[in-house]
């Protein structure tokens, strides 16, 4: 699993290939770099759910998709059920 690096402006984590692209865009939105533990509004960044296999964080809708395809997921483990959408 590739190491993730933290954006100095917003505290989000990115792979090494996409961090530079994100930082350039994020810098234009932020006037002053924020510490990694504090988000842009002075609040701690939201706690995102983590993949049970590799530990990478995702939004709740993306987590389910990732866990079905995670390379660290044991091959003999049944696929998790699809989340149901409320009307």
pLDDT digit string (tens) for the chain, length 87 residues = 567 888 887 778 888 888 888 888 877 666 554 455 555 566 676 778 888 888 888 887 788 888 888 888 887 877 666 666 555
Cα(21)–Cα(25) distance, integer angstroms: 7
Query: What is the reported pTM?
Result: 0.41
Cα(19)–Cα(5) distance, integer angstroms: 7
Cα(34)–Cα(11) distance, integer angstroms: 8
For residue 31, give both structure tokens: 């006037």
């Amino acid at each position: 699993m590739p190491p993730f690096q933290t954006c100095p402006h917003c505290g989000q984590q990115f792979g090494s290939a996409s961090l530079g692209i994100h930082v350039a865009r994020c810098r234009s939105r932020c006037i002053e770099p924020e510490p990694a533990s504090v988000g842009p509004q002075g609040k701690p960044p939201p706690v995102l759910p983590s993949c049970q296999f590799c530990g990478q964080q995702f939004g709740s809708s993306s987590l389910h998709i990732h866990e079905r395809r995670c390379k660290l997921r044991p091959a003999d483990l049944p696929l998790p059920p699809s989340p149901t959408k409320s009307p």
